[in-house]
Amino acid sequence: MDRVETRIANRLEELGKIVPLVDGFGASHGIAKPVIDALNLVLDEVLNNIISYGYPDGGAGTIRVRLECGPGVVRAEIEDDGIAFDWPRPGPLDRAVPTRGRAVGGAGLRFIHGLTDEIFHERIAGRNRLLLTKRIPLAT
């Protein structure tokens, strides 16, 4: 499995490093643009949340982003040293409740689950590890 990785500081201005990494990785592996676009959207959501909520004391932290490409899949592994986060599976959206009346939170999780095919999360040695898998459609 071919891979590339980078480390960023837990600052929003660091997010600008991720899109070129993902785009370049996708181009070098011939991954279809819609798959790369979905991966970029998911990583933006995940990394924004890690940076915004994973370091409530404002301390410095490091986030590692690794991309891997294998037969029929592309994977993103995100590892951070922020606070522990339990990666819940979002419940169904109650469409009977108007948008303004819905509880805050959970939309990002639904968004991420909708754009990926598999999600695995664990907490190991004081670090969160999130593995996102996206299937690559076979060329027709």
The CATH code of the domain that includes 79 is: 3.30.565.10
Measured CA to CA in angstroms, residue 139 lies from 12, 31, 32, 40 at distances of: 36, 10, 9, 21
Of the candidates 86, 63, 65, 81, the one whose C-alpha atom is nearest the C-alpha of residue 132 is 65
Domain that holds residue 15: 2-135
Residue 73 placed within a domain: yes
Residue 130 placed within a domain: yes
Q: Say if residues 45 and 99 touch (Cβ distance below 8 Å).
A: no
User: Distance (Å, rounded) from C-alpha 16 to C-alpha 106?
Assistant: 25
User: Distance (Å, rounded) from C-alpha 6 to C-alpha 136?
Assistant: 22
Residue 52 one-letter amino acid: S
Residues 60-106: tens digit of each pLDDT: 999 999 999 999 999 999 999 999 987 665 555 445 555 555 444 55
Indicate the number of domains in the chain: 1
Residue 79 placed within a domain: yes
Q: What is the distance in angstroms between the CA of the first residue and the CA of the last residue of the chain?
A: 23
Residue 140 placed within a domain: no
| pTM (predicted TM-score) | 0.84
